[in-house]
Structure 1
Amino acid sequence: MNNNRYAVSLPGLELKNPFMPSSGSFYYGLDHIDDFDLNELGALVLKTTTMHPRKGNPQPWIIQTKAGVLNSVGLANPGIAAVKADYLPKLAEKLPNLPQMLSISGETIAEFTELATIIDQIPSISAIELNLSCPNVDEGGRAFGVSTTGITAAVSAVRAVTTKAVYAKLSPNVTDIKPLAIAAQKAGADGLTMVNTLVGMSLDLMARSVRLYRGKGGLSGEAIHPLAVEFIWEAASVVDIPIIGVGGVTTIDDALELMLAGASAVQVGIMNKEDSLFLPKLIKQLPAALDKYHFETAADVTYALHPLPTDEDAWAKSKEK
């Protein structure tokens, strides 16, 4: 798909269409080279990478629940040195024209800074996504992404050492997302990615134990989609930097709904595990969906939501259209 009708321009990312995998769902991309032509994607988002290798939590990493999928991978990854040496050169060779965004996470501000400094020197990486859900050792284990101080510290530290576009991935495990979105923008983020997974648990009645090693895991899938829509809508009302929406996309309508709420582009996670061709299918469905809902371009969907009605008469009239 090579048409300006579908293109979206974001800081550091010139997308031929608004769709990309979420961090982790395509690992580092090389495992999916043979599934389809990855150049069809708007961008490739690479797995969250840390300073040092992490083997992750004990298995199982992912379990099905009635409400969605719980994961407790524990940021398993080979570490930035191996990623830089073994993965990124091959990606640059095989996909030289596909925008690539690398997700990073650290337990301290120093780790975020070291990672961003290294990535700043890698030409093939167009943007950096900050996974702010890792425990912040400097604040006693609370995740960076649940406080304005944590977000401000991480984003400003990365902003100071890189000229690449920086996207802050916000957590939905908060009471009010708006001050966090504002903090990210003020600290220098070029955009937001939202939302990350919600905290959940699943228990084994027969064994009387938790099903995941750490008990809690990150809930993703169809169940969180309405929450993602609401969080994106809230954040879009207070910031003027672009948002990449993610959360429970299982259809083209789900993707456009995130954009209508205020997202400029969309990431897809768990559906890639269920169907390795889900993203190219989604991309092919975009032209007909734009026609169906009377949008001239994909970019027109963003912020197209009408203001909320202020009275019952206005609501009734809106439903008559």
Structure 2
Amino acid sequence: MPGGNHSNVTEFVLLGFTDLQELLFVIFLLIYITTLVGNLGMIILIRTNSQLHVPMYYFLGHLSFLDICYSSSITPKLLSGLLAERNTISFNGCITQFFFFAVFGTTEAMLLAVMAYDRYMAIREPLHYLAAMSHRVCVQLVVGAYAAGNLNALVHTSALLRLSFCGPNLVNHFYCEIPLLLQLSCSDTWLNEMVMAACIGFIITASVLAIVVSYACILLSIWSIRSAEGRHKAFSTCTSHLLAVALFYGSAACFYFHPFSRHAEDRGKTASIFYTMVTPMLNPFIYSLRNKEVRSTLRRATNKLLSCRYSHTSRSNQTEAGTICHSGISRRNKADT
């Protein structure tokens, strides 16, 4: 067919989940609320505490922001679909959802690679770390990650818009994902498949290679540290990032690296839950539980909040007691009179 979008399809039907919809709605809603609270809390904690104004937490703040956006591009539509009798999404809405999903997903993959490089610099050059990872360098790395995300999304979206969709319109998933949309097109999708393979292959190869090389250099640097305590302290700063990388890439690989048969699509839904909802929810807990500085900062903020509340309650009680005492004295004076 000639190029350009000559689509007769005005909406897609997201098959999503057909069993236990009420229970799944409650579970996914709790996951989404936890994601928002955890990541917003991490951003506020980093912004308001001067001790966390270092490159590592600058990147972590952007990771939390991406997790919120990444999850929000999928979860609200999933929740509304679980309550609807027929879960549909307009053609434009589907394309828009895919665009933002691709932007935030790609950016997060690149940011995880940037964070691995940051850990390498912190361990390899501890004395010159802040000079090497200046604010300007950190901003440039983050802007580069966002630029890569937007470029990848634009390429895929532009290639998707040139296709024709004349039916069917059933998407066996809970959001619009490009491999499943290509299956529904009545155009020749060879170019799209090549572009998808090239872009995703490049992004995964570049980000994973950067992470692997960074951690290989980190291991060599740790090996040169003489004391066992020093080696343990150096490696402990990387465990949170390693867990986040394993969750993100492990769950994404389960979806992208399997044939898209009917049975495989059902398994892909489960994998998609992990990298679109569970991983963004777990990231702030991974970093807060595994990082001593975040734990201590969070503990001080909690103690400060509790002390302020206790002080306010004490003042309220003292004011109330003074009022009662004053009224009692007034009543006795009147009685004596």
State whether TM-score is above 0.5: no
TM-score normalised per structure 1: 0.25
TM-score normalised per structure 2: 0.24
Larger radius of gyration: 2
RCO (CA 8 Å, sep 6+): is it higher in 1 or 2?
2
